[in-house]
Structure 1
Amino acid sequence: MDRRNFLRNAALGGAGTAALAAPALAQSSPQVQWRCTSSFPQSLDTIFGGAQDVATYVREATDGAFDIQVFAGGEIVPGLQAADAVQNGTVEMCHTAAYYYVGKSPTWALGAVIPYGLNNRGMNAWLYYGDGLNLLNEFYNAQGLHYLPAGNTGTQMGGWFRNEIGGLADMEGLQMRIAGLAGRIMERIGVVSQQIAGGDIYPALERGTIDAAEWIGPYDDEKLGFYQVAPYYYYPGWWEGNLTLNCFVNRESWEGLPDAYKSLLSTACRAANTEMMAEYDYKNPTALRSLVSNGAQLRAYPQDVLDATYDAAMSLYSELSESDPEWKKIYDSMMAFQAEHFLWQQVAESTFAQFMQDKQRNNQLPAQQ
Structure 2
Amino acid sequence: MKRRAFLQAATVGAASSAIAAPAIAQSNPEIRWRLTSAFPKSLDTLFGGGETLAKLVSEATDGKFQIQPFAPGEIVGAPQALDAIAGGTVEMGHTCSYYYVGKDPTFAIGTTLPFGLNSRQTNAWLYHGGGNALLNEFYAKHNVYALPAGNTGVQMGGWFRKEIKTVQDLQGLKMRIAGLAGQIMGKLGVVPQQIAGGDLYPSLERGTIDAAEWVAPYDDEKLGLNKVAPYYYYPGFWEGGPAIHFYINLQKWNELPKTYQAALQAAAGYVNVDTQAKYDARNPAALRSLIGAGAQLRPFSQEIMDAAYKAANEVYDETSAKNADFKKLYDSYKAFRGEEYLWFQVAEYAFDTFMIRARARG
What TM-score results when the alignment is normalised by the length of structure 2? 0.97
Is residue 198–residue 215 contact of structure 1 (8 Å, CA) maintained in 2?
Answer: yes
Is residue 61–residue 263 contact of structure 2 (8 Å, CA) maintained in 1?
Answer: no
**Gap change, CA 1:203 and 1:24, over 3 Å in 2:** farther
Residues 146-188 of structure 1: CA deviation (Å, up to 9, x unaligned) = 0111000001000111111121111111111113210110111
The CA RMSD measured in Å over matched residues stands at 1.3
**Gap change, CA 1:187 and 1:20, over 3 Å in 2:** farther
Deviation of 1:77 after TM superposition, in Å, equals 1.2
Identity %: 57
- 1:92-241 paired onto structure 2 within 5 Å: 92-241=91-240
Is residue 168–residue 302 contact of structure 1 (8 Å, CA) maintained in 2?
Answer: no
Rounded Cα–Cα distance in structure 2 between residues aligned with 1:290 and 1:17: 51
Is residue 40–residue 198 contact of structure 1 (8 Å, CA) maintained in 2?
Answer: no
Report the 3-state secondary structure (helix = DSSP H, G, I; strand = E; otherwise coil) of the residue aligned with 2:142. Answer: coil
Q: Gaps (5+ residues) in structure 1?
A: 364-369
Q: Is 1:80 matched with 2:79? A: yes
Aligned residue for 2:9? 9
Aligned residue for 1:316? 315
- 1:46-65 paired onto structure 2 within 5 Å: 46-65=45-64
Amino acid at match of 2:262: S
**Gap change, CA 1:27 and 1:290, over 3 Å in 2:** same
Rounded Cα–Cα distance in structure 2 between residues aligned with 1:235 and 1:305: 11
Amino acid at match of 1:4: R
Rounded Cα–Cα distance in structure 2 between residues aligned with 1:128 and 1:240: 19
Rounded Cα–Cα distance in structure 2 between residues aligned with 1:123 and 1:262: 23
Deviation of 1:64 after TM superposition, in Å, equals 1.4
Aligned residue for 1:275? 274
**Gap change, CA 1:172 and 1:14, over 3 Å in 2:** farther
Is residue 38–residue 79 contact of structure 1 (8 Å, CA) maintained in 2?
Answer: yes
Is residue 113–residue 240 contact of structure 1 (8 Å, CA) maintained in 2?
Answer: yes
Choose 99-108 or 256-265, whichever is displaced more: 256-265
Rounded Cα–Cα distance in structure 1 between residues aligned with 2:15 and 2:213: 46
- 1:288-299 paired onto structure 2 within 5 Å: 288-299=287-298
Amino acid at match of 2:348: E
Deviation of 1:19 after TM superposition, in Å, equals 5.2
Amino acid at match of 2:172: G
Deviation of 1:194 after TM superposition, in Å, equals 1.5
Report the 3-state secondary structure (helix = DSSP H, G, I; strand = E; otherwise coil) of the residue aligned with 1:37. Answer: strand
Is residue 92–residue 250 contact of structure 1 (8 Å, CA) maintained in 2?
Answer: yes
Deviation of 1:15 after TM superposition, in Å, equals 5.8
Aligned residue for 1:305? 304
Rounded Cα–Cα distance in structure 2 between residues aligned with 1:291 and 1:79: 28
Choose 192-201 or 252-261, whichever is displaced more: 192-201
Deviation of 1:28 after TM superposition, in Å, equals 2.4
Deviation of 1:136 after TM superposition, in Å, equals 0.4
Deviation of 1:362 after TM superposition, in Å, equals 1.6
Is residue 158–residue 234 contact of structure 2 (8 Å, CA) maintained in 1?
Answer: yes
Deviation of 1:300 after TM superposition, in Å, equals 0.2
Rounded Cα–Cα distance in structure 1 between residues aligned with 2:10 and 2:58: 14
Deviation of 1:197 after TM superposition, in Å, equals 2.2
**Gap change, CA 1:114 and 1:24, over 3 Å in 2:** same
Residues 100-121 of structure 1: CA deviation (Å, up to 9, x unaligned) = 1000010001110000000001
Deviation of 1:11 after TM superposition, in Å, equals 1.5
Amino acid at match of 2:323: D
Choose 68-77 or 5-14, whichever is displaced more: 5-14
Rounded Cα–Cα distance in structure 2 between residues aligned with 1:200 and 1:261: 39
**Gap change, CA 1:129 and 1:20, over 3 Å in 2:** farther
Is residue 219–residue 288 contact of structure 1 (8 Å, CA) maintained in 2?
Answer: yes
**Gap change, CA 1:7 and 1:20, over 3 Å in 2:** farther
Deviation of 1:25 after TM superposition, in Å, equals 4.2
Choose 98-107 or 56-65, whichever is displaced more: 56-65
Deviation of 1:17 after TM superposition, in Å, equals 7.5
Choose 12-21 or 49-58, whichever is displaced more: 12-21
Report the 3-state secondary structure (helix = DSSP H, G, I; strand = E; otherwise coil) of the residue aligned with 1:106. Answer: coil
Q: Is 1:42 matched with 2:41? A: yes
Amino acid at match of 1:7: L
Report the 3-state secondary structure (helix = DSSP H, G, I; strand = E; otherwise coil) of the residue aligned with 1:339. Answer: helix
Rounded Cα–Cα distance in structure 1 between residues aligned with 2:317 and 2:81: 30
Corresponding residue pairs, total: 362
Is residue 79–residue 197 contact of structure 1 (8 Å, CA) maintained in 2?
Answer: no
Aligned residue for 1:89? 88
What TM-score results when the alignment is normalised by the length of structure 1? 0.95
Is residue 9–residue 15 contact of structure 1 (8 Å, CA) maintained in 2?
Answer: no
Rounded Cα–Cα distance in structure 2 between residues aligned with 1:248 and 1:5: 26
Rounded Cα–Cα distance in structure 1 between residues aligned with 2:281 and 2:16: 34
Deviation of 1:99 after TM superposition, in Å, equals 0.3
Rounded Cα–Cα distance in structure 1 between residues aligned with 2:16 and 2:257: 20
